Structure 1
């Protein structure tokens, strides 16, 4: 009993603390750079909105496709520990190379971060799941605490990196992001030295890891291949207009590998795996709408919101700030409801997550009612919209992380975690398409301003396409933003309600997983 207590802190495995801080600083680096990226491209590199959205969508989608590969390699060869360290080093290099204003370094840096994230992201999340036994009721609470670490980093980074970039230059903002990644590696390495992880996350099979090909061990080959893959991803971002071909390739790979897994597991595991895929599809829709945050919502804040106390890059911290405010109360809530056997099952939480997401975007659209003569809206709507969609995120995202580790067959847990993150690949790909719908051509409006959708937009915003065209270009841009946000807000609410209606069927297929 004393041994058990010595390996725990605050009622959770001690390793959670180190993974919490490692992820906090890794996310600091990631979100600090993300907050600057679109503004850097449009203001410093002078990219058009369309070009910036294309690069951003390609980068952000690829960041979430590589975790599938990193998950497989960790499952089979590297183990969580080595994968996390390799990924962290690659990402740190990527952030520091962004300090050089040259296309080679710009696209190469994004390539480094993409490959590094593939090793880091799925495996640190899987490592958290590995700290708990399969039936441990603390798992959802532990993942919500871990999710707090993600968002502490995400809240601090846009404010700090944006301030440094504004005060000293864009490149210093990127340097600060790189320092964040190095700090994350330091915390993870401290955890390894203090042996808080026990026998978790080690190389699965030393013989396989050390097996030589061409005189080089498999482990070393993976490290070399990771660096060699960087130019490939840099080229995809540079030629992002062809990314849809990659979407088809990834989809084919996913389908083939999932079918392979389904052929090798029990009936019970098959049902659970199918539900993991269902949750991933819902998360892909959630991500496509939610991830306007780093692209169109940042430009919306810059151009059409009366900002007080922060600049447009800093608004990227609002969502994370609400996560910090709500994460612990939500964690306590799940524990409280669980003790009283009233905790909603995951299928219900996913439905509610989509409903709240949609309501958040409808609030963004309602801001049109406060528009002034400069086509600027009240910041209150931006804050309220972020608050509501953050509640939706807490119903869905950390719960999804937790469920993937429970629904996955044990032999394939890191790969299935990679599949979960592939939702962000698809989400960001389609988020880029959604963001491009907000760009304007003089005298024209988007598809959501006509027919029944146009009537819904008019009802929500109080603006018609005829009114928008008669006003300034800034007003037309505002109308473009709010019409897109209205339409996708309603889509999210409708899908969420459908998910709630079929939740009893989904619950039965989960075979005991809550």
Structure 2
């Protein structure tokens, strides 16, 4: 036995396990690649490929939703067959290839590249997050703080990437932006590989059953067969993106699979584990609702910034950095806050944090809606509202997303932890699917009437935006009609999200009881 892999490195950095530092930087560079490409994608389709808004939103929604359904499969494969480490390496290689193939301007490479990133993310994303969870024992008070720091790494990558990739894309061409994203992914892989070579992670994340893993069929061990299947599955996902109008069938299939497998787990586990797992499902459902509204960033909010915001110093693609920059500014203060409140025994429980997260998200979108109050004669709104709205919804994100990552690793039965982490990321699958539907509500054509211009919704729109449904009628420019279609959607969904947040706060004592001792 190799003793190097049976002893966990006990060194700490800033009061946290040293392994967190390596996972932090590996995730930072992986997210650099992911968000760098995401910032360019919808503008690349509308401005370079000349896709319509409707088609672009369809492709974007299909791509972003599938990116978050594959982690369920990747989680099962890691749990049962190849372990976290090999899954992370496989995922990273696939994602890097996807980013590099985007530099080739052919439809087959465009859709194939998105397919590669989808499959790669399924192996990478749930397993690196689960690796963070293995660094902390159950009940370790540093856990929430540790995941918030890890979340800072995600968003450092998310903050830097759109600025640099969009700058390169604008200066030299779209493909240079995609190339830089691919280089970022390779750096992330090298950082993770270095951590394993230094035995920073001890015996965490290794193959569950070495003997079964090494058994060969047709000259390939289990790892080799999974690599082959992963590459062969890419065309399937590429086709789903190409024909995204049929994606709702996949939503039904994924839902039936989820319900079936979670029911199976509920039957197998103890009563305490069952209660905790139900809370994990509840948190995941709230996160899906959160993502459906939040993920207008990168799609409709990017086009809103491009067409209806007086941008100063940055272009529309670079506005994708705003959310991540706010997280970089706020993540450490939040991590310190949770640790401080824990010491004072005043840290709100996770159910309350989720309710507050939804509440702040809704307020952020209400601010986007309010931006129309300051509209100029060119149908452009002050940039202040965009920046301030992102600040408020970022506070909501910090109440919910990193806390969710932390709690899922605690609430999940140990045997199924990576699959349940995949279920958590499936919230983004549903979120992005419905985010695409919401984004399409902003594509009201000239002469059409917005569904948010009449009745109670129309009143909400008018009070928050200062504009009435008359904007969509004769006598107003197309730019004003487009502005109204954006801000009326943001105002109404902001209010809906605030109501959901209030309901979550009201029922939080019930949820807390089901968590059985987990804060």
Distance (whole Å) between structure 2 residues aligned to residue 213 and residue 251 of structure 1: 33
Is 1:111 matched up with 2:87?
no
- Assess if the C-alpha contact under 8 Å between 1:33 and 1:173 holds in 2: yes
How many residues were matched structurally? 512
Secondary structure (helix, strand or coil) at the match of 2:233 reads helix
- Alignment TM-score, normalising by the size of structure 1: 0.99
| Equivalent position to 1:416, from 420, 431, 436 | 420
Displacement of 1:215 in angstroms is 4.0
Displacement of 1:212 in angstroms is 2.9
Evaluate the alpha carbon distance shift between residue 106 and residue 335 of structure 1 in structure 2; reply closer, same or farther with a 3 A threshold.
Answer: same
Which residue is equivalent to 1:432? Answer: 436
Secondary structure (helix, strand or coil) at the match of 2:136 reads coil
- Assess if the C-alpha contact under 8 Å between 2:448 and 2:472 holds in 1: no
Secondary structure (helix, strand or coil) at the match of 1:447 reads coil
Which residue is equivalent to 1:373? Answer: 377
Distance (whole Å) between structure 2 residues aligned to residue 342 and residue 4 of structure 1: 32
Is 1:454 matched up with 2:487?
no
Where does the alignment leave 5 or more consecutive residues of structure 2 unmatched? 1-6
**Range that drifts further, 83-92 or 199-208:** 199-208
Is 1:89 matched up with 2:87?
no
Distance (whole Å) between structure 2 residues aligned to residue 257 and residue 513 of structure 1: 24
Distance (whole Å) between structure 2 residues aligned to residue 362 and residue 338 of structure 1: 32
Where does the alignment leave 5 or more consecutive residues of structure 1 unmatched? none
Distance (whole Å) between structure 2 residues aligned to residue 150 and residue 388 of structure 1: 19
- Assess if the C-alpha contact under 8 Å between 1:365 and 1:461 holds in 2: yes
1:472-499 deviation digits (Å, cap 9, x = unpaired): 0000000000000011000100000000
Distance (whole Å) between structure 2 residues aligned to residue 63 and residue 49 of structure 1: 21
| Equivalent position to 1:486, from 488, 491, 494 | 491
| Equivalent position to 1:300, from 304, 308, 317 | 304
Which residue is equivalent to 1:404? Answer: 408
Which residue is equivalent to 1:163? Answer: 167
Which residue is equivalent to 2:127? Answer: 123
- Alignment TM-score, normalising by the size of structure 2: 0.98
Displacement of 1:467 in angstroms is 3.1
Secondary structure (helix, strand or coil) at the match of 2:36 reads helix
Distance (whole Å) between structure 1 residues aligned to residue 267 and residue 450 of structure 2: 45
Displacement of 1:216 in angstroms is 2.4
**1:44-443 alignment to 2 at 5 Å?**
44-443=48-447
Distance (whole Å) between structure 1 residues aligned to residue 408 and residue 444 of structure 2: 40
Displacement of 1:6 in angstroms is 5.0
- Assess if the C-alpha contact under 8 Å between 2:127 and 2:418 holds in 1: yes
Which residue is equivalent to 1:474? Answer: 479
Displacement of 1:115 in angstroms is 0.2
Is 1:508 matched up with 2:513?
yes
Distance (whole Å) between structure 1 residues aligned to residue 64 and residue 18 of structure 2: 32
Which residue is equivalent to 2:4? Answer: none
- Assess if the C-alpha contact under 8 Å between 1:25 and 1:181 holds in 2: yes
Secondary structure (helix, strand or coil) at the match of 1:37 reads helix
Displacement of 1:193 in angstroms is 1.1
Give the superposed CA RMSD: 1.0
Distance (whole Å) between structure 1 residues aligned to residue 495 and residue 315 of structure 2: 29
Is 1:10 matched up with 2:10?
no
Runs of 4+ aligned structure 1 residues displaced above 4 Å come to 3-6
- Assess if the C-alpha contact under 8 Å between 2:8 and 2:199 holds in 1: no
- Assess if the C-alpha contact under 8 Å between 1:79 and 1:202 holds in 2: yes
1:347-395 deviation digits (Å, cap 9, x = unpaired): 0000000000000000000000111111000000000000000000000
- Assess if the C-alpha contact under 8 Å between 1:445 and 1:480 holds in 2: no
Distance (whole Å) between structure 2 residues aligned to residue 353 and residue 322 of structure 1: 15
Is 1:23 matched up with 2:56?
no
- Assess if the C-alpha contact under 8 Å between 2:273 and 2:411 holds in 1: yes
